[in-house]
Amino acid sequence: MAEKVLVTGGAGYIGSHACKALAAAGFVPVTYDNLVTGWREAVKFGPFEEGDLMDRARLDEVFANHKPVAVMHFAALSQVGEAMSQPGKYWRGNVSASLSLIEATLAAGVRDFVFSSTCATYGDQDGVVLDENSPQMPLNAYGASKRAIEDMLKDFGNSDGLNSVIFRYFNVAGADPDGEVGEFHQPETHLIPLILDAIDGRRAALTIHGTDYPTEDGTCIRDYVHVMDLVDAHVQGLNWLRAGEGPTAGGTEVFCLGTGDGFSVREVVSAAGSVTNRAVPMQDGPRRAGDAVKLVSGSERAGRVLGWRPDRSTMPQMIRDAWRWHQNGGYER
Ligand SMILES: NC(=O)c1ccc[n+]([C@@H]2O[C@H](COP(=O)([O-])OP(=O)(O)OC[C@H]3O[C@@H](n4cnc5c(N)ncnc54)[C@H](O)[C@@H]3O)[C@@H](O)[C@H]2O)c1
């Protein structure tokens, strides 16, 4: 019988794509999600269990019913602006919630854990290409909460033999090319869907947050990874753990998932205009508190150890797949 993997946040953007990749790799993805930002309709590749990470009894019940062999933990709150104004929501919703999940995982005897961390744990580090050893100096409670969860995984590795793969993502973009799932955040805060909303009139104009950053065109620079490449890394990381090639007696391994190429906001806008052959209505706006100037990472370690190659992560490909989803996809409550 196919092995099950508990996917927290499987009704969200990245989690739903991970469920598709897990199913294609022969696992049964069991989505555990409270639908706070996710969509019931996005759960297409395995069973759905509605529940909150803070509900320990519900988690225990789901572990007992499905007996997953591993956990992929995507569920989180992840809006930087909200994290700046409501830090308590992030410490509770990310850190306390992850503690509840980790304790339930250990109580169920599961030892293999894959975690979504973020480049927001780095903060601003002037011009460098980041890697797994770069210092973590988060600028907001979102990044700080993710760094705290990384620390928690290390502690439970030492105390209880939890084996974790931690992926630090940069900006995730694109959609399933088959159109089964895609990015649909409400409210949307991610650049590419915001640009596409402006192109097709769902919003009046794209606001560029900050045009006076110390970069060539004054806008922030980010590293974009195609969501299908990103979820492939998760399956590779899971297989690596399951094969006993990663940590086996408790430990964490960190991988940065970036392409090494940075794109400024204006460069992404211009690429979206070219790919869609449409004008992008836009206006300049003030900086957003908590935003770093430049976040770019290589993926040498993920390539060397896991064999990961972000082959689909070209800007035109990500925009093309996002645009196709944007025109035909979406979910309803
Ligand atoms: N999208 C990006 O560019 C990006 C970049 C870096 C890191 N990440 C991380 O990747 C993960 C997934 O991001 P996403 O863009 O798919 O977000 P998303 O909001 O689409 O998905 C998160 C899912 O988690 C669920 N959830 C949140 N809190 C929960 C709780 N307490 N109990 C149960 N379910 C809960 C939501 O309902 C949602 O379905 C997050 O951990 C995020 O921090 C995302």
Per-residue pLDDT reduced to its tens digit, 68-126: 999 999 999 999 889 999 999 999 999 999 999 999 999 999 999 999 999 999 988 87
* 219 Cα: distance to centroid of ligand 1 (angstroms): 26
Closest residue CA from atom 29 of ligand 1 = 75
* 328 Cα: distance to centroid of ligand 1 (angstroms): 23
pLDDT given at position 159:
97
Letter for the amino acid at 115? F
Looking at the domain 191-222+260-326, which fold is it? UDP-galactose 4-epimerase; domain 1 (3.90.25)
Helix (H, G, I), strand (E, B) or coil at 255: strand
CA distance 238 to 163: 10
* 279 Cα: distance to centroid of ligand 1 (angstroms): 31
Helix (H, G, I), strand (E, B) or coil at 250: coil
CATH of domain 4-173+224-257: 3.40.50.720
Report the predicted TM-score, pTM, of the whole model to 2 decimal places: 0.97
Q: With a cut of 90, say whether residue 127 has pLDDT above it.
A: no
Q: Please give the number of the atom of ligand 1 that sits closest to the Cα of 38.
A: 39
Phi-psi region of 250 (alpha: psi -120 to 50; beta: other; left: phi over 0): left
CA distance 320 to 206: 18
Task: Find the residues whose C-beta lies inside 6 A of ligand 1.
Answer: 8-9, 11-15, 33-38, 52-53, 74-78, 93, 97, 116, 118, 169, 171-172, 185
CA distance 154 to 164: 8
CA distance 161 to 154: 10
Q: With a cut of 90, say whether residue 9 has pLDDT above it.
A: yes
Average pLDDT over residues 307-325: 97
Closest residue CA from atom 18 of ligand 1 = 12
Q: Please give the number of the atom of ligand 1 that sits closest to the Cα of 97.
A: 31
Residue range 232-263, pLDDT digits in tens: 999 999 999 999 999 999 999 999 999 999 99
Ligand 1 pocket mutation, candidates 36, 40, 89, 220, criterion most atoms within 8 A of CB: 36
Catalytic machinery residues: 142
CA distance 323 to 208: 20
pLDDT given at position 197:
94
Closest residue CA from atom 11 of ligand 1 = 74
Residue range 283-314, pLDDT digits in tens: 999 998 878 899 899 899 999 999 999 999 99
Q: With a cut of 90, say whether residue 190 has pLDDT above it.
A: yes
Mean pLDDT, the chain, as a whole number?
A: 95
> Is 109 buried (19+), middle (13-18) or exposed (0-12) by CB count in 10 A?
exposed
Q: With a cut of 70, say whether residue 47 has pLDDT above it.
A: yes
Average pLDDT over residues 206-223: 95
Q: Please give the number of the atom of ligand 1 that sits closest to the Cα of 15.
A: 16
pLDDT given at position 291:
82
Phi-psi region of 170 (alpha: psi -120 to 50; beta: other; left: phi over 0): beta
pLDDT given at position 1:
83
Q: With a cut of 90, say whether residue 204 has pLDDT above it.
A: yes
Q: Please give the number of the atom of ligand 1 that sits closest to the Cα of 172.
A: 3
Q: What percent of the chain has pLDDT over 70?
A: 100
Ligand 1 pocket mutation, candidates 7, 8, 13, 44, criterion most atoms within 8 A of CB: 13
pLDDT given at position 333:
64
In the chain, what are the domain boundaries? 4-173+224-257, 191-222+260-326
End-to-end C-alpha distance for the chain, whole angstroms: 33
